[in-house]
Structure formats: structure tokens, C-alpha cells
Amino acid sequence: MPKKLSANMLYNYVKCPHRLTLDLFGDYSKQDPISVFVKLLWEKGTDFEKQVIKGLEIPFLDLRSYSGIEKEKRTKEAINDGVELIYSGRIIAGNLIGEPDLLRRDGDGYISGDIKSGSGLEGENDLSEGKPKLHYTVQLALYTDILERLGISAGRNPFIWDIHGREIEYDLNSPQSTRNSKSWWSKYKSCLEEVSKIANHDLKTLPAYSGICKLCHWRTYCLRCLRKANDLTLIPELGRSKRDVMINHLGSVAELAQANLNQFQKGGKTIFPRVGRDTLEKFQKRAILLSKSGSKPYLKGQITLPDAPTELFFDIETPTNKTYQQTGNTPLSALSDLSIYRYINNGYEKLANVELKAHNPATKNISKDIEKIVREKKNGNWFHVLKNINKGTLTSVFDKFIFSLKEHSNKDSDISILFCICILEKKWGMIKHFKYDSSLGKGLPDFTEEFFCLSKISNSNNIRDKNVLKQKDILKNNDWTIIEP
Ligand code: SF4
């Protein structure tokens, strides 16, 4: 009987087509054990989902405790009864099967949604609003497809409830980007077709070494195959798509190392789509390094390091000294975004931990990073970027700082954090050193509220409900350094 195609299969396919092949037909005895890190990610996802569901303030039907046919039957009944919100249902149509986290009634039909412990969009930054993630899109599209086939779809606009507490609509009929006018729905359809071919043995896949392999339970097995084939994807930055356009001409790292690249030249370009001559030469140099025994890293240019009276060193994503129970059940070492060190007595001494933040995140996201700064007992630097502000933005962010600082300080802790906040569109920034010394007798709640100009005692020094210009003046009068061009 042909296999039913699931959202999980689509997810795996977009991450790596070969993963789908191996999961369906591979020798399970060759799988690696699931890594502790992957387990941690699962735990994080499950905890987040539980937290979201626990916090729901609207009635819903919980089908989490059912599985298989019983789950499907109860989902059908709930849909027939017009239940507003169904959590953890199961829907089937033809050869498609889906278990969306949420099915929400919309008019006479339903739309599906998933709860994700990551951001609902990718590429979000100060210049871009971000776009749907393909691996979320294909899952939501499959649920929507099933709802359409069942005749109960309320539209191609499923949603994600993401880690930032947002509901993000995925408009499946919209183009994938300004450069690619094909809709997300057509992308889903082509992925579904490929998944179907793989499941029916009509499409062969190859492993390709990439960052995703580090989290995959086929890593050892694939790496052995890739090394045996001396596959081009062993060359850094040469991934599946480039390998696939080159493989008919260059079958291995050794072949690329020895090749005369002129044969691939066609006018100003190479015969390989999206691989220019410079890139090909770079890959060949890497292939030569990989093919020669005893190869070492080499300098491509002279580096002159200047003499400086003070030399500081930095490291990113540095493990904390203390353990934290921010997700899951086990306290674990966390990561600081950046740490600054000095070199002294033949060793590196950590001087400060830096946390980087953007926009106006949920309190819990601010709180977990404030906790790290406070409990590590090092100088901290909080560097926060805001795209723009209105009269409510600073008070909202500052309230979260105040809450977090109160939550994580204890009576005798001294705290040192340099707060730096940049407001991009306003083109100004502000800096002030939060230096709390418990021996000076002032309670932390009062100190913190005064620091952020939100003390209830003095309205003239309180930024709440004032316009942005007035807020700027108040901050300046309360020792915030305002930085302007
Ligand atoms: S190890 Fe890499 S190539 Fe192999 S299945 Fe996993 S992700 Fe794909």
C-alpha cells in the first residue's frame, strides 16, 4: 500500500531529501543515538507548547491524549460539532495525513495552525519584515490541502503561534519573494510531488554534507558514504545545489582538484548555473587542500596586528559559569551572546558578558538574559536595538527590565549593567550604567524604577504617558547619556 504523506516527511524533505529516503528505507541499525542537544530542542518545543496551551484563555478541545484512529475519529466529530478550537487533532484525506497543533473554526470552515518554539519568520531585521520559513510553510500547506480535500477549508491562510507570542499568518497564495513570484502553495505542491516520488522509490537521493547533518541521526553513516565517494559537498560552502549542478562534470573532490577549469568556461560565466569563475577557483583551492596530505591553513594576505596599551579579546556564545533552568527540567549551562576578556597571568580572564536584543520581546525573553547577567556576577552590557519608538515603547521595554531585575536579584546582590539602547529611525541612542550597590541602603525596586525614570514618586521625572521628545528630556535630566549624530 502506498505510504501516507505526512507533515513530518515534508519537513524532513526540505531540510534534506536524503534524510527522508533514509528514514523511510534506511537500515535503522546504522542510525546514531539521538543527541543530547536534539533531545534538548525537543524538550524546549514540548515545554513551550505546554506553556502556550496552559495560558490559553479561550475554550478548546484537547485531543492530545488520543492517537491514531481514535484521534482521527474524535477530530472528525469535533469538526462536525463545529468546535471553535481543536488542539492536537488528526486529519486525513487521500494519501495525506496531518496532525496540526491547532484547528480553528473560521466561518463554516477551519484553518490550521502550529505552535513553534522558534521565531515564526526568518530574516527579520531592521530593514526587513522577514518571510515565512519553508519548513513551517510546507507543514501548514499540507494541513490546508487536507482541509481543502475534505471540503472544510476556510482559506489558504494558516498561522503560526511563535516564541514571541505572535500569531503569524502564512498566506500560501502569496509570492515567495519579490524576486520569485511563484506562490508558496506552488512550492508546497512541488515539494509534495518530490516527497511522493521518494516514498514510491521513483526518486533517488544523495547525501550532501551541510550544517544540518550535525543534528541528524544519520550523520555517521552519511559521512562514511560521503568520504568514500569523496563527495564535493565535503568542500566547505559547496552544498547540495552546487554539487548537483556540477556532479556530471566533476564527480569528486579529487576530480575538482585536478581539473583544468578553463573547460567549464562559457563566455564570462561557467557552465554551472550560479557558480561563477571566482567561486569555482575558490572551491578548487579548497579541493587541493583536502586532497593533499599534511595541508594546513594558510594566510591569504599579510596581517599586521597593531600594538595597543590595552588588548581585549572576545568570544561569542560563551558558556556561563552557573547553570540555569530556563527550559526543560534540568539546570544547564547557558550561553552569553558575547563575552569580553583580558589576557593576564597566561590566561584569559572574563571581564564582562554582553546580551544583544532587538525590538520589544516578551518579558520572559528579557528576563532569562537579565538572569544570566545578574547571576554570573560579572559586569554586564545590555545592547538593545529598537527600530522606532512611540510614547509607549520605552515604558514597555523598561517595565520588562524592572520586572526582570526585581525577579532575579536577591537582597545582597550588587548589579552592574551598562544599558545601551539604539533607536534606529530616530537616529539617537542612550546609555546609562545601572550600578546597584546593596550596601548603600536603597531597596532595589525603588532604585530600578528611578533608574528607568518610572518612579511613582515623581511625575516630572517619570516618562510614562509623555511624548517621545519629553521622554528624551527626562532621560537626559536623569543621567542617561543621549547620543546623537
Ligand atoms: S546526515 Fe546529512 S546528508 Fe545524511 S541524511 Fe542527515 S542531513 Fe541528510
Residue 70: is its pLDDT beyond 80? Answer: yes
C-alpha to C-alpha distance for 166 and 129, rounded to whole angstroms: 14
Q: What does pTM read for this prediction?
A: 0.66
Strand extents, DSSP E, 254-326: 265-266, 269-270, 312-324
At the topology level, CATH places domain 5-199 in Lambda Exonuclease; Chain A (3.90.320)
Predicted local confidence at residue 226, as pLDDT: 97
Ligand 1 is surrounded, with C-beta below 6 A, by 16, 18-19, 22, 207-208, 212-213, 216, 218-219, 222
Alpha helices in 230-343 (DSSP H): 240-246, 253-258, 277-291
Mutate to test the pocket of ligand 1, among 15, 22, 225, 228 (most ligand atoms within 8 A of CB): 22
In this structure, which residue's CA is closest to atom 7 in ligand 1? 213
CA of 3 to the centre of ligand 1 (A): 22
In this structure, which residue's CA is closest to atom 3 in ligand 1? 207
> Residue range 213-221: average pLDDT?
95
Residue 442: is its pLDDT beyond 90? Answer: no
In this structure, which residue's CA is closest to atom 1 in ligand 1? 219
Predicted local confidence at residue 195, as pLDDT: 97
> Residue range 361-385: average pLDDT?
93
The residue with greater pLDDT, 36 or 130, is 130
C-alpha to C-alpha distance for 314 and 57, rounded to whole angstroms: 45
**Closest ligand 1 atom to Cα of 219:** 1
The DSSP annotation for 366-411 comes to: HHHHHHHHHHHTSEEEEEEEES---TTHHHHHHHHHHHHHHHH--T
3-state helix, strand, coil split of the chain in percent (to 5) is 40, 25, 40
Predicted local confidence at residue 327, as pLDDT: 63
Report helix angle 7-15 to 17-25, nearest 10: 130
**Closest ligand 1 atom to Cα of 207:** 3
Predicted local confidence at residue 440, as pLDDT: 80
Residue 303: is its pLDDT beyond 60? Answer: yes
| Bridging pattern class, strands 347-358 and 332-344 | antiparallel
In this structure, which residue's CA is closest to atom 5 in ligand 1? 19
Residues 6 or more apart whose Cβ sits within 8 Å of residue 230: 252, 253, 254
* Confidence label for 292 from pLDDT (cuts 50, 70 and 90): very high
DSSP state of 358: E
CA of 295 to the centre of ligand 1 (A): 27
> Residue range 188-212: average pLDDT?
96
> Residue range 111-118: average pLDDT?
94
> Residue range 98-116: average pLDDT?
96
CA of 204 to the centre of ligand 1 (A): 14
Predicted local confidence at residue 219, as pLDDT: 96
Predicted local confidence at residue 278, as pLDDT: 95
266 three-class SS: strand
* Confidence label for 458 from pLDDT (cuts 50, 70 and 90): confident
> Residue range 247-257: average pLDDT?
96
Strand extents, DSSP E, 142-219: 159-161, 167-169
CA of 13 to the centre of ligand 1 (A): 11
- 95-104, 192-201, 245-254, 340-349: least confident range: 340-349
Q: What percent of the chain has pLDDT over 70?
A: 98
* Confidence label for 387 from pLDDT (cuts 50, 70 and 90): confident
pLDDT per position as a tens digit, 406-426: 999 875 678 999 999 999 989
CA of 20 to the centre of ligand 1 (A): 9
Residue 1: is its pLDDT beyond 60? Answer: no
- 2-11, 16-25, 181-190, 238-247: least confident range: 2-11
Mutate to test the pocket of ligand 1, among 13, 14, 16, 135 (most ligand atoms within 8 A of CB): 16
CA of 157 to the centre of ligand 1 (A): 31
> Residue range 361-390: average pLDDT?
93
CA of 222 to the centre of ligand 1 (A): 6
In this structure, which residue's CA is closest to atom 2 in ligand 1? 213
Distances in whole angstroms, Cα of residue 406 to Cα of each of 208, 321, 374, 447, 475: 49, 22, 10, 10, 21
Predicted local confidence at residue 126, as pLDDT: 66
Predicted local confidence at residue 402, as pLDDT: 96
**Closest ligand 1 atom to Cα of 216:** 6
Place of cell 548537483: 244
Mutate to test the pocket of ligand 1, among 24, 219, 238, 241 (most ligand atoms within 8 A of CB): 219
> Residue range 95-123: average pLDDT?
95
**Closest ligand 1 atom to Cα of 17:** 8
Predicted local confidence at residue 276, as pLDDT: 94
Residue 37: is its pLDDT beyond 90? Answer: no
**Closest ligand 1 atom to Cα of 213:** 2
CA of 28 to the centre of ligand 1 (A): 14
**Closest ligand 1 atom to Cα of 16:** 8
CA of 216 to the centre of ligand 1 (A): 6
Q: Which of 211, 235, 252 is nearest to 286 (CA)?
A: 235
Mutate to test the pocket of ligand 1, among 213, 224, 238, 243 (most ligand atoms within 8 A of CB): 213
Predicted local confidence at residue 85, as pLDDT: 96
At 282, the amino acid letter reads K
Residue 291: is its pLDDT beyond 80? Answer: yes
Residue 378: is its pLDDT beyond 90? Answer: yes
Q: Which of 142, 124, 120 is nearest to 132 (CA)?
A: 120
CA of 212 to the centre of ligand 1 (A): 7
Query: What are the beta bridge partners of residue 383?
Result: 356, 420
**Closest ligand 1 atom to Cα of 19:** 5
Place of cell 506562490: 183
